[in-house]
Amino acid sequence: MLQNERRGTLKAAISAFLDHAANEAGLSDATLDAYRRDLTRFLAWCRERDTNDTTTLGVNDIRGFAAAEHRRGLSPRSVQRRLSGLRRFFRYLRREGVISHDPSRGVRAPKVRRKLPEVLDIDQVLALLDIPQEDELAERDRAILELFYASGLRVSELAGLTWDRIDMNEGLVRVLGKGRRERLVPVGRHALKALRQWRRIHATVAGVDQPRVFTSLKGRPLGVRAIQKRVAYWSERQGLDQRVHPHQLRHSFASHILESSGDLRAVQELLGHANLTTTQIYTHLDFQHLAKVYDKTHPRAKKQK
């Protein structure tokens, strides 16, 4: 609460907001760090203009800050994130009665050119997953890759996964995603088989008291970076013509499900997207596939040699 600081400085208001945000349910450490960086940058910009009073800030100040950040070389997406943090900050100040109007309302960031995610086709996925059962490390990595493609998990979700969240009998995994939202995701039979094989090895190398599913052969939990490196290693080892990253497998999972089912809502639930608009990017991928088929097969679309 901003009590004696209600008429205080912008710095005091930012400090109170960050304290409030730290105790607000659902905010990850990464989100809090982003708010702290964005508001620190905004404070520095305001100080350069001798502005230090929250009640005097207007819409032109917010527009000026966004424009200055864009000129400084920030991408439109980064400017959008800056503005998102400011909007939450000013909403908080309004609730506390510090300001009577929100100066960030109606301020738009530069348009972001939407980049379509790269996906693997079915043959590429099958080639990547065809890992030889040569040793314990290969068994673990096959389970990682199978689970990525079977369930569309984020790399952070897979890294933090514990055995008690996998129901081997029902073929389900309980995932704790962004904003601490929980979802149930099916696990395919190939992934279940790979997980069972890895679990037998895991019990030996990590012991029954280690809850994390994916560990090193010394029993230490694998971090996000280590998992990314293993995915990249197998994409090269299996002869793919590109360096594959975990999010590419998530994109491929979503695109292949949508291509087969046409059910955008189901894909949204499987991916754990809060908003359907986030999932709609995969409709563009599906259309790209259809357009290529059309160009290759329709008599009026074929290019003359």
Q: Which positions are annotated as active-site residues? A: 154, 178, 247, 250, 273, 282
Q: Which helix (H) or strand (E) holds 166?
A: strand 166-167
Rounded Cα distance, 84 and 92, in Å: 13
Angle CA 118–248–164, to nearest 5? 160
**β-bridge mates for residue 185, sequence order:** 173
SS3 212: strand
Phi, psi of 304 (to 5 degrees): -75, 140
One-character DSSP codes across 122-155: HHHHHHHH-----SHHHHHHHHHHHHHHHH---H
Q: At what angle do helices 246-261 and 122-129 cross, to 10 degrees?
A: 130
